A and B are shown apart, each in its own frame.
Chain A
Amino acid sequence: MALWVCLLFPSLSLDVFARALSPHDAAYPFAVGSDEHPPRIVAANAAARTAGIREGQLVSGALALTHDLVLRERNADAEMRALTQIATWTLAFTPMTCIVPPQAVLADVGGSLRLFGGLQRLLARLASGAPEMGYTSRLGVAPTPEAALLLARAAHAAPVREQADLPAVLEPLPLTLLDMPQATRSMLRDAGVTTFGQAVALPRDGAARRFGHDFVVCIDRALGRVPDPRAPFTPPPRFAGSLELPAPARDIEALGFGVQRLVRDLADWLQARSLGALRVTLTLTHEHALHTRDLPPTVAPFALGAPTRSTAHLFGVLRERLARVVLPAPVEAMTLESNAVTPLAGKNLGLLPGDGPDPVEAPLIDRLRARLGDEAIQRLALHAEHRPERATQIVRGHARLPPAPASLPATLRPLWLLAEPQPLGDIFARSPWILRDGPERIESGWWDDGDIRRDYFIADTADGKATAWIYRDGRHGLDGGDWFLHGIFA
């Protein structure tokens, strides 16, 4: 049986900005104004409300109340993206989710009650999830989607599970909670029909003629008298989450909180699509101050060693990556994008407590790469090449190690090689070195300008205290070439 949960976000227009900062950092009065003329306050945070700012007030009036009010213009696109993100998150609870703009997400949880241990537990998770993402939410639960929406708007917290109970619960609700054109609204008011119960009591045919077919259908759908098909929400094929900061941030530490929010959104999206991220990009947009008009955004791409959708892992590497970013100007907005993803199967939960998966931690190498850069992390591979300096291939980044050649050099090689062979000069004139083995002639590379012709020896230093790999350069004749130190038998 269908059971719809409506998640209503009454302060969504405020939350899309405010969630970028931790509540502690955002203690200043902050409000969002509409884009109509003259602009009015759409939503205000607690500090602004304390200062006397209310919804519907003129912005000019609000500014007169507090001089330090931070004001942003309402961003409908960001609100829609937020609803998309929330709907993506609810897919973790049910496959049937839909968005009701401008402020609500509906989810049919009828089929997932048992999986989540009953309605109370599921509601608790839904109710705590939204604040964790930075949204203030209100729940409404009813057997029909329209009724769930109405209950959420009416702040009727008690879930209604039976369709038979609906008429009694909906009866006292004001009709203003319904979505309908302004004309219908005023017509109903003029006719003295103000509550849901009164509307239900009207003769159907007459009501349909006077107030429109849609109105009657809406009432019928709320009561479950006619089916209410909804198009199920599908998560977007690509993830691009962005956050606009209420006020520009000057230092990188202030961004951490917002980045964490975006990482969580990304993890929810990956979860909904059963994917793991391979490459992500964080883009920081800078304030458009006069002197920085042409400043390009700071882009921090990052690749992961293995596909993941763990929030801890993703945030762990992004935090290190952020530590390397130098901000040329204050940051106004940030965007997190997934550039490459790959299917990633879910993990089975442990049977016994303490049997669960290991504590998630960003793997070491990802963290090192994030902080020090790809260049700093080398891996070594064998290369089929006679020249000793080219027999070790250095692999950087995430490239796979090339397959090992079939054979290794038959003779002994030192563990350390010098970056550049070091001329031994007249060292031998003062005290002779003792050759243990050699010569091993290596003559190669005439085709690529790396021509060498060397006689290698394993030799002890004159005092016998250390063993090195030295060669005599034979490019200019075999006797009389210079001696070089090339390796150390560490």
Chain B
Amino acid sequence: MAAALAPLLVHPALWRGDDLAPQPAALPSGFAALDAVLPGRGWPQDALTEILLEREGIGELRLTLPALVQLAARHRDIVWIAPPYQPCAPALAAAGLDLARLYVVTCKVPQDALWAFEQALRAPRCGAAFAWLPTHDDRVLRRLQVAARDGQTWGVLWRRPGERGSATTAPLRLALAREEGQLAVHVLKRRGTDLAHPVRLALDGRMPPRPRNASDIPWQVHETA
């Protein structure tokens, strides 16, 4: 009986309540542990992902870089809208990103940024659109979600630390924090069942390890008089 059912159970059209919802082909994130908990085994390529940050500087962008590198290698455009800081070209190039594919949009007016985000999400050639916007308007978010679906674009709405984290319509919501020296990804919302425990990822082999003992600390910084 179980043997006869087995081929049926793997059929993509069959969804079981205890499983993640079946998803169209997703974009592998480059982290096996993260892919395992994301619906479709990767970043959604047709939906908005909302990422909440506890702090900046915990490796939040490095989490997305392997997927961006892949997209750029497939000649899909990457658009960053209103990033909070100046992106550093040598660091991006060192990660393997083809800079010719990256467009950074800076807007003086928030409406323009939203417009640009929607256009980018809707554009078929655009593979990923990231926006750092404080928008919480449900109608706007739904519009963005529809745009991402129509354009088959991976849209990420970044929430900077301290921003209100109200429930939104984004089908995938993650909260990032550093826990025990690693990047912890809390899946707040996904298609399918909830995930109780965060996924911990070791991000970058090049990053020097954090000294464990006081004696290993090369130099502790104090204000020198």
Q: Output the residue of B62, B65, B93 with the most chain A CB within 10 A.
A: B93
Contact between A416 and B56, CB atoms less than 8 A apart: yes
Which of B77, B99, B124 has the most chain A CB atoms inside 10 A of its CB?
B99
Given A393-B89, A415-B92, A379 contacting B103 (CB threshold 8 A): yes
A466 near B87: Cβ-Cβ < 8 Å: no
Q: In this assembly, does B60 line the interface, its C-beta being within 8 Å of a C-beta of chain A?
A: yes
B12 lies within 8 A of chain A by Cβ: no
Judged by a CB distance under 8 angstroms, whether A64 is at the interface is: no
| Shortest CB distance B88–A (Å) | 5
The reply to whether B90 and A416 contact each other, CB–CB distance below 8 Å, is no
Mark the stretch among A41-49, A66-74, A117-125, A405-413 that contacts chain B.
A405-413
A369: min CB distance to chain B, Å? 10
Per-residue CB contact flags for chain A residues 138-152 toward chain B (1 = under 8 Å, else 0) read: 000000000000000
Q: Is A483 an interface residue (CB 8 A)?
A: yes
B123 contacts partner chain A, Cβ-Cβ < 8 Å: yes
- Given A378-B106, A432-B220, A490-B61, A467-B88 contact (CB < 8 Å): no
A276 within 8 A of B: no
Q: Is A207 an interface residue (CB 8 A)?
A: no
Whether the Cβ atoms of A489 and B210 lie closer than 8 Å is no
With A377-B105, A436-B210 as known contacts, state yes or no: A408 contacts B116, CB within 8 Å. Answer: no
Q: Which A residues, 399 to 432, have Cβ-Cβ distances below 8 Å to chain B? A: 401, 404, 408-409, 412-419, 426-429, 432
**In the docked arrangement, what's the CA distance between A437 and B125, Å?**
40
Judged by a CB distance under 8 angstroms, whether A361 is at the interface is yes
- Residues of B near A381 (CB, < 8 A) are 89, 99
Chain A residues, CB < 8 A from B54: 465
Q: Residues of B within 8 Å of A, CB-based: how many?
A: 58
> Is B85 within 8 A of A488, CB to CB?
yes
Whether A436 lies near B211 (C-beta < 8 A) is yes
Q: Which residues from B are CB-within-8-Å of A437? A: 208
Min Cβ gap B126→A in Å is 6
Residues of A within 8 A of B119 (CB): 364, 367-368
Query: If A368-B116, A465-B58, A488-B57 touch, does A416 touch B220 (CB 8 Å cutoff)?
Result: no
A residues near B120, Cβ cutoff 8 Å: 364, 368
**Chain B, 210-222, contact with A by CB distance < 8 Å: what is the 0/1 string?**
1100000111111
Partner of B222, one of A365, A382, A432, A464: A432
A388–B87 Cα distance when bound, in Å, is 11
Would you call B175 an interface residue if the criterion is a C-beta within 8 Å of the partner chain's C-beta atoms?
A: no
In the complex, the answer to whether B106 meets A376 with C-beta atoms within 8 Å is: yes
Contact flag A364-B125 (CB < 8 Å), given A371-B112, A376-B106, A381-B99? yes
A458 at the interface (CB under 8 A from B): yes
Interface residues of B in 173-211 (CB under 8 A from A): 177-178, 181, 206-211
B85 x A428 contact (CB < 8 A) = no
Give the shortest distance, in Å, between A222 (CB) and chain B (any CB). 55
B116 touches A416 (CB 8 A): no
Q: Is B2 an interface residue (CB 8 A)?
A: no
- Asked if B88 and A391 make an inter-chain contact with CB atoms under 8 angstroms apart, the answer reads yes
A372 to B99, CA, bound (A): 21
Q: Is B220's CB under 8 angstroms from A434's CB? A: yes
The answer to whether B58 and A467 touch across the interface, beta carbons within 8 angstroms, is yes
Nearest chain B residue, comparing its CB with the CB of A409: B90
Please tell me which one of the listed residues B57, B89, B219 contacts residue A392 in the complex, with CB atoms under 8 A apart.
B89
Q: If the complex has contacts A436-B207, A488-B56, are A382 and B89 also in contact, measured as CB distance less than 8 A?
A: yes
A377 to B78, CA, bound (A): 12
Q: What's the minimum C-beta distance from B150 to chain A, rounded to whole angstroms? A: 12
Q: Give the 6 A-B CB pairs with smallest separation, nearest first.
A: A466-B57, A416-B85, A364-B123, A429-B223, A392-B89, A490-B61
**Contact surface of B with A, Cβ cutoff 8 Å:** 54-62, 65, 77, 79, 83-94, 99-100, 102-107, 112, 115-116, 119-120, 123-126, 177-178, 181, 206-211, 217-224
Return 9 A-B CB contacts under 8 Å, by A number: A392-B89, A404-B99, A409-B94, A412-B207, A416-B87, A428-B222, A434-B210, A458-B207, A490-B61
